Structure 1
Amino acid sequence: MSLSRIVMRLARNPGTEFSGGDDHRGYALTAPLTADGHLDEAEYAKAKKDCAVRRFAPDEDPADGRLARRGERWFFDYDEDDQIDDEPVHRLGQHRFAIGEYVTVTDEDGRPLTYKVMEVTPI
């Protein structure tokens, strides 16, 4: 089983304060990927404890959490005992993690923001 480090940075989000994007805001994710760049569900089941996420932004401390799944719903979880902090990721299981692809994450304020995959590196 191999894990990959995936870095996503805030893309242009018209109609928000991030209309031009922000390379200093984003997520670094550790997850298993299939050969075509999708989340590998079978490997995730074996490596849940190693699947991590770090949210970063220049105006806040980094938030460390984990990649989690309930049923078909994937999300970023920063506190196992508190579901309020969960950040849903729109159709994460269907996304292809390849440089240049886009992923939508619902932030802590409930806003869907688009991020661009900037790095995918096997660990």
Structure 2
Amino acid sequence: MTLSRIVMRLARNPGTEFADGDDHRGYTLVAPLTGDGKLDVDAFQKERALCTVRRFAPDEDAVVGRLTRRGPTWFFDYDDQSDADDEPVHRLGDHYFSVGEYVSVADEDGRLLAYKVTDVAPAD
């Protein structure tokens, strides 16, 4: 099984302070993908310890966590001891992770913000 490194950067979000987007804010995921670019649930179950997320922004230190799943809902989890910091990802399992596709992630206020996939490559 091959893991992929997926980079998503904040896209244009009209009506927010990120109306023009921000290439310096986003996420880097390490996760298994199917041949058509969706998250591979079976491979994730076998390799979940290797599936990570890194949130980056110019005004904060990068935060590293893990990709996790409860039922059909995927989360970015930064603290194993609490789920208060979990960031739910809107329909993550339905998204195609190819350059140019969009993914919505809820921020700390619960707003869904759009992120654009800007890179997909084999993980190191």
- Pairs within 5 Å for 1:39-118: 39-118=39-118
SS in 2 for 1:24: strand
Partner Cα separation in structure 1 for residue 74 and residue 98 of structure 2: 18
1:20 aligns with 2:20: yes
**Please, which runs of 5 or more residues in structure 1 have no aligned partner?**
none
Partner Cα separation in structure 1 for residue 83 and residue 107 of structure 2: 13
Partner Cα separation in structure 2 for residue 115 and residue 94 of structure 1: 15
Q: What's the CA shift for 1:111?
A: 1.4
Per the normalisation by structure 2, the TM-score is 0.98
Query: Which residue matches 2:3?
Result: 3
Partner Cα separation in structure 1 for residue 27 and residue 62 of structure 2: 10
Alignment identity in percent? 67
Partner Cα separation in structure 1 for residue 27 and residue 46 of structure 2: 23
TM superposition outliers: structure 1 runs of 4+ over 4 Å: none
**Cα deviation 1:58-81 (Å, max 9, x = unaligned):** 000101000000011101000011
SS in 2 for 1:35: coil
Q: What's the CA shift for 1:30?
A: 0.2
**Cα deviation 1:73-111 (Å, max 9, x = unaligned):** 101000011111000000000000000000000012211
AA partner of residue 69 (structure 2)? R
Q: What's the CA shift for 1:14?
A: 0.3
Partner Cα separation in structure 2 for residue 47 and residue 118 of structure 1: 24
Number of corresponding residues: 123
